[in-house]
Amino acid sequence: MLIDFGAFKGEIGETRRWAWSGELPPLEAGGEEIPFAGPVEVAVEVTATGPGSFWLEGRARGSLVLTCSRCLERFAHPIEVTLAETCKMVAQEGAGGGDWLPVRGEVLDLRPELAREFFAALPMKPLCRPDCPGLCPVCGRPLEAGACGCRREEVDPRLAALRELLRDREDGSR
């Protein structure tokens, strides 16, 4: 996923397109690795806006393997991200601004930028599906699998109230 700015002829307004389908390394999140479920599709359009200056627009689509926060099952979560960046060719190492991407040696590797965008798009609380029933509070088996035989309904009403309270707190984002 390399953009070769050397391909531009130097005319302002000149536009070039790139598209790839390829693997990205797993995202790093708090010492944990979040792998992609398959190849990532990327398409970008780059327009020359001035000497050594470019506008990059694009989108990328991929699925990440997340762990459901309720039932702890792993599932593929599709994510689509957009890119909108100013790119500037820079001569020396270390140059670069907060709001534009430095291009060194005419070639820009998009992968770190894509990893950043996918990371930013990760859900705070992953769910395999919005109404995932979670795990049985007694035996810990996924409720999805059907009746586990636990007598969950016959709990002390005071405990049930407490459980409701905890569930409300857990689902506070809704």
Q: Applying CB under 5 A, which residues contact Zn ion?
A: 68, 70-71, 128, 132, 136, 138-139, 148, 150
Cβ(41)–Cβ(62) below 8 Å: yes
- Residue among 84 and 147 whose Cβ is closer to Zn ion: 147
Q: Is 22 helix (H, G, I), strand (E, B) or coil?
A: strand
Q: How far is the CB of 149 from Zn ion (least distance, A)?
A: 7
- The DSSP string of 40-95 is EEEEEEEEEEETTEEEEEEEEEEEEEEE-TTT--EEEEEEEEEEEEEEEEESSTT-
- Residue among 70 and 77 whose Cβ is closer to Zn ion: 70
Cβ(83)–Cβ(113) below 8 Å: yes
Two tokens, residue 113: 């930028």
Q: How far is the CB of 171 from Zn ion (least distance, A)?
A: 13
Q: How far is the CB of 85 from Zn ion (least distance, A)?
A: 35
89-120 as b/e: b if 16+ CB within 10 A: bbeeeeeeeeebbbbeeeebebbebbbebbee
Q: How far is the CB of 167 from Zn ion (least distance, A)?
A: 15
- Residue among 114 and 135 whose Cβ is closer to Zn ion: 135
Q: What residues form DSSP beta bridges with 108?
A: 3
- Residue among 116 and 129 whose Cβ is closer to Zn ion: 129
- Residue among 46 and 128 whose Cβ is closer to Zn ion: 128
Q: How far is the CB of 64 from Zn ion (least distance, A)?
A: 15
